[in-house]
Structure 1
Amino acid sequence: RYGVEPLWFACVRELTACWLFLGMGYATSPHRLKGVLHDGRSLLSIAGIAIGSILFSQVAYLEAIDWTNSATATILQSLCTVIVMAYVCVVNRRGPRRREVVGLALAIAGTYLVATGGNPAALALPPQGLAWGFGCALAAAILAIQPIKMIARWGNFAVNGLAFLISGLVLSAVYQPWNHMPALDAFGVLLLVASVVFGTFGAYALYLQGVKEVGSVRGAMLGTMEPVMATVTSVAFLGAHFSPMDLLGFAMIIVMVFLTA
C-alpha cells in the first residue's frame, strides 16, 4: 500500500527499537549495560551478533515477505529447526534419531509442495522468494544459537539494544535510507510504530529470552506458533489465498518442527 522498501523498513526498525532495548536495559540492570560497554571482547562478540543474527534475520525475513507473503516467509523460516537439529547432532557427535529423520523428510516434502504447488515442472514461488525464505531459515537458526552466551552474561536488553544499534548503523551506511523515504500518512506511521514496538522490540525480546530459558531447540519448537498465526492473519486481514498443496506443505513443515525438537 505504501511502497515501503524492505531495507528502509529494516533500517528504521533497528535504529528505533534499539533505544527501547537500551532504555529497558538501563532501567532493569544498569550495571550490566555499563559493564558490557567497558568490555571490548564482549562488544566485539555483540558486533558479530549484530551482523550474523540481527542484520541477516531482519533483511532476509522482510525480503522474503516482499517476494512472497507473510505466511510463506514465516513457514520457510521454520526450516531453521532442521539446521538447529544438524548443529546439535554435530556438537554432540551423534547421528539423527528416527523421528528427526522423519522430520527431515517432512521438511523436504513440505518445502517442495510450497515451492512448486505439487507441480515439479513449475515454481509456485518466485526464485528470489524461495532463496530469501531459505535465508530466513539460516538466519533464524543463527539467531537461536549465536547470542545465548552473551545474553546469559549481560542480559537480554543490553545485548539486543547494542546489536540492533550496530546492525542499524551498518545497514544505514550501506543503504542510505534517507534517500528512499516513503510517503506515509498517519495510519502508515501508526503501522510503523506498531511494527517497532510489538514486531521488533516485543518479538525479539520475548523470543531470545525464551531461547535463553529453554534452549535453542525447544525455543525453535515453541516458535512454531508463529507460522500458524502468520497464516491465519494473512488470510483474515490481508486476503491471502493458499492452495490445498500450500496448506499441506505448511502442515508438513509444522509437524517437522515438533518431531525434530
Structure 2
Amino acid sequence: MSELTTQTSLQPEAASNANRVRRLKGLLLALLGAVLWGVSGTAAQVLFQRFGIAPGWLVAVRMTVSGLLLVTIVGVRTGRLSVLAPWRNLRTAVGMLVFGLIGLLGVQYTYFSAIGYGNAATATILQYLSPLVIVAYSAIRSRRLPSRTQFMCLILALVGSALLVTDGHVMRLSIAPLAVIWGLASAFAVTFYSMYPRRLLAQFGAATTTGWGMLVGGIIMSMMTVRGRTMPNLPLGAWGLVAFVVLFGTLLAFYLYMASLQYIEPAEASLLACGEPLAAAILALAVLHVRMGPIAICGGFCVLLTVTILSRSRK
C-alpha cells in the first residue's frame, strides 16, 4: 500500500519535471533563433552598405532558397505524401498561403522597409513593440489581465532593446513618418506570425510549416522584385554572407522560433526574440569593434534578466 502511495505521489512530480524540460527547451529554441536573427541582421547590413544589395532582392533570395531547402529536407525524411499534406485540404492550404504572405513575408519586408526609410535602431525598437501587442491581444481574448511576471518581462524587454540599439541617445534618432509606419507594421507582422500558425504547427510540424511558408513568401517576393534583374556581381566573401543569411539567419532561425511555439506561449517567444539586438550588439562589439557604452551594456543585462525570469517562472 505504501509503495502504491509513493508511486502515486511521484507521478505529479514527474509530470512537473517533464513540463519544465519542455518549457526550457522552448525558451532555448526561441533564444537561439533570436541570436541567429541578430547575427544575420549584421551580415545583411554589411551587404546593403558595402555591396549595394537591394533589401527586396535579399528577402526574395533568402526566403525562396530557405523554403526550398527545408521543404526538400522534409520530403526526403518523411516522403512526398507527407510534405504535400498541407495542400490537400482547402482550409490548410489557405492557412499556409496566409501564413507565408502575411506572416513570414510580412515580417521581413516591413522590417527592411523600416530600415530603408529610417535606420536599423528605429526599426528594431518599433518591431520589438510586438510583445506589447501580443500580451494585449492575449489579455483581450482571454478576458484576463497579464500576470505580474509578464508585465515585468515586457518592461525589461522593451527597455533593454531600446537601450541596446540607442545606447541611451534616443533624441539622436531621425524618425521619418514612413519609417514609423513600416516599423509599427513590422510589430504587428511579428504578432501575426507568432500567433497565427499554432494549428498548422500542431498538424504538420515546424519544419513543414516554416518551409512552405518561406517558399510561398519567397516566390511572391521574387515575382515582385527579382523578375527581369540580373544576378549581382559580388565577390566570394559577399556570397558567403548571403549564404549565411539564407542558411542560418533565415532557414535555421525561423525554424527554431516556430519550433519553440510548440513548447511556450507566443508572448514568451516574442519576449525572448529580444535576444536579437543583444546578439547584434555583441557581434558589433567583438567583430566590428563598435564601442558599447554603459547604457547599452545595461540594456543587455535587461534582456538577459528577461530570459532568466522567464526560464525560472512557472507557466
Q: Write the distance in 1 (CA, Å) between the matches of 2:185 and 2:304.
A: 18
Which amino acid is 1:191 matched to?
L
Q: Counterpart of 2:212 in structure 1: which amino acid? A: L
Structure 2 residue aligned with 1:25: 74
Partner of 2:196: 146
CA contact (8 A) 2:261 2:269 kept: yes
Matched, 1:3 2:52: yes
Aligned-partner SS, 1:214: coil
Q: How does 1:1-261 map to 2 (within 5 A)?
A: 1-30=50-79, 31-64=81-114, 67-69=118-120, 73-74=123-124, 76-101=126-151, 117=168, 122-127=171-176, 129-176=179-226, 178-179=228-229, 181-242=231-292, 244=294
So what's the TM-score if we normalise by structure 1? 0.81
Mapped contact 1:78–1:253 kept (Cα < 8 A): no
Structure 1 residue 242, shift from structure 2 partner: 5.0
**Contact 1:15-1:165 at 8 Å conserved across structures:** yes
> In the TM superposition, what whole-angstrom CA distance separates every residue of 1:13-67 from its partner, at most 9, and x where no partner exists?
0111111110122123334313222222211111100111111111133344554
- 5+ long unaligned stretches in structure 2: 1-49
Please give the alpha-carbon distance, in whole angstroms, between the structure 2 residues aligned to 1:244 and 1:130.
Answer: 27
| Whole-angstrom CA distance in 2 between matches of 1:147 and 1:252 | 29
Per-residue deviation at 1:203? 0.5
Cα distance in 2 between the residues matched to 1:238 and 1:131: 30
Q: Kindly tell me: are residues 68 and 174 of structure 1, through their superposed partners in 2, closer, same or farther at Cα, counting changes over 3 Å?
A: same
| Aligned pairs, number | 258
Bigger CA radius of gyration: 2
Counterpart amino acid of residue 199 in structure 2: K
SS in 1 for 2:262: helix
For residues 247 and 204 of structure 2, the distance between their equivalents in structure 1, rounded to whole angstroms, comes to 22
Please list the CA deviations of residues 94-144 of structure 1 after superposition, one character each: whole Å capped at 9, or x if unmatched: 12444555556667766776679456xx44244355554433332222221
